[in-house]
Amino acid sequence: MLPLWVADMDFVSPPAVLQALHERVAHGVFGYGSDTKKLTEIIVERLFRLYGWRVTPEDIVYIPGVVPGFNLACLAYAEAGERVVVQTPVYPPLLKAPFETGRDGADIGFNRDTDGRFSVDWQAFESAMAAEARLFILCNPQNPLGRVFTRHELEKMAAICLKRGTVICSDEIHCDLVFAGHRHVPIASIDPEIAQNTVTLMAPSKTYNLAGLQCSFAVIQNEQLRKRFRAADKGLMAHLNLLGCTAAVAAYSQGQTWLDELLQYLAANRDVTVKFIHEHMPKIGVTAPEGTYLAWLDCTKDPALSRPYQFFLKQAHVALSDGRQFGAPGEGHVRLNFGCPRALLLEALERMRRALERNASK
């Protein structure tokens, strides 16, 4: 079975990260001594260098993961039964967050343009916010669609939220994984007024393959929103992981060359995936992702693939993500992770092709 489902990469983390972890383990004492001061300085400098976004150390709130972050946002900014809006298809824990926190979840879909690209359904977006939405959880770059929203799109989303008094929680965990021709823009970096209405969630975990080390952070420039966010955990949130902090410092300060090489490799994997599907599985729709290492496959035009996840699992021995987990628009779709060695990727694609060929010959 080839696993191309979970949204983490198969690649070894940067050498600088491994060295820093070895040195920290050799220290032999594992208390609460995370060096957040150094990490905070690096994050503040990084956000300004990459995005021209000025934040202060006080704006940074450390959390063990982005998933706890958007669940905290639901608790902090919406009362029980109040509306929290997401755009679907979307990462399953994000889709479930309103319901798991006792809020009223509302999801809005995307439009599909003639070129296959997904775009914001502005009419649905405006209507959802008009219905007294307390929180909008944005996913950018978008998982599973691979969209990297433009500055214009983000400005328009933010303007609607500001008009309706809707707080924005922006999950930007894939912000470093953006391909040539596209640019990540943190929505809070656009304008001070937007920043005062936004909680931004980031982490080195997807970028440098550190998810198991549990080190993430929120950027909250509005003091009142920050206080409400901190208060929402009610003492239940874990301390920042010591080794996660060590890895984050090393990754952010010494991992750029590794990241540059990674992006080239991922871009080639993306192109291989899209080309192979277009040439050998033409009934499956796919649009080249603008960011992330995730491809969204539309199997709705192939009558043999009424349940594509089960088909490829059983007939090709390739484990993808079931599109139904991403919301109603995911019916008849699967998500493929191409963040793996190219030989494994090609083997998986070839297995999928052969399975379709065998099925067609029956």
pLDDT, one tens digit per residue, over 244-284 is 999 999 999 999 999 999 999 999 999 999 999 999 999 99
Q: What is the reported pLDDT for 33?
A: 67
Nearest to 6 by CA among 73, 64, 93, 86: 93
Domain with CATH 3.90.1150.10 in the chain: 2-10+257-357
Tokens of residue 45, six digits? 């400098």
Q: What is the mean pLDDT of residues 3-32?
A: 95
pLDDT, one tens digit per residue, over 179-223 is 999 999 999 999 999 999 999 999 999 999 999 999 999 999 999
With beta carbons less than 8 A apart as the criterion, state whether 311 and 305 touch.
yes
Measure the CA–CA gap between 66 and 138, rounded to whole angstroms: 12
Residue that is written with structure tokens 């890895």 in the block: 247
Measure the CA–CA gap between 263 and 266, rounded to whole angstroms: 5
With beta carbons less than 8 A apart as the criterion, state whether 172 and 199 touch.
no
**β-pairing verdict for 118-120 and 133-139:** unpaired
With beta carbons less than 8 A apart as the criterion, state whether 134 and 166 touch.
yes
Domain with CATH 3.40.640.10 in the chain: 28-254
Measure the CA–CA gap between 153 and 140, rounded to whole angstroms: 11
Q: What is the mean pLDDT of residues 98-123?
A: 95
120 has which bridge partners? 110
Nearest to 30 by CA among 21, 39, 19: 21
Q: Compute CA 47 distance to the chain's CA centroid, rounded to the nearest angstrom.
A: 18
With beta carbons less than 8 A apart as the criterion, state whether 297 and 303 touch.
no
**Domain 28-254 carries which CATH code?**
3.40.640.10
Q: What is the mean pLDDT of the chain?
A: 96
**Amino acid making up residue 209:** N
Q: How confident is the model at residue 114 (pLDDT cuts 50, 70, 90)?
A: confident
The domain defined by 2-10+257-357 folds into Aspartate Aminotransferase, domain 1 (3.90.1150)
Q: Compute CA 176 distance to the chain's CA centroid, rounded to the nearest angstrom.
A: 10
Provide the whole-model pTM.
0.97
Q: What is the mean pLDDT of residues 85-109?
A: 97
Measure the CA–CA gap between 281 and 274, rounded to whole angstroms: 10
**β-pairing verdict for 83-87 and 104-108:** parallel
pLDDT, one tens digit per residue, over 294-319 is 999 999 999 889 999 999 999 999 99
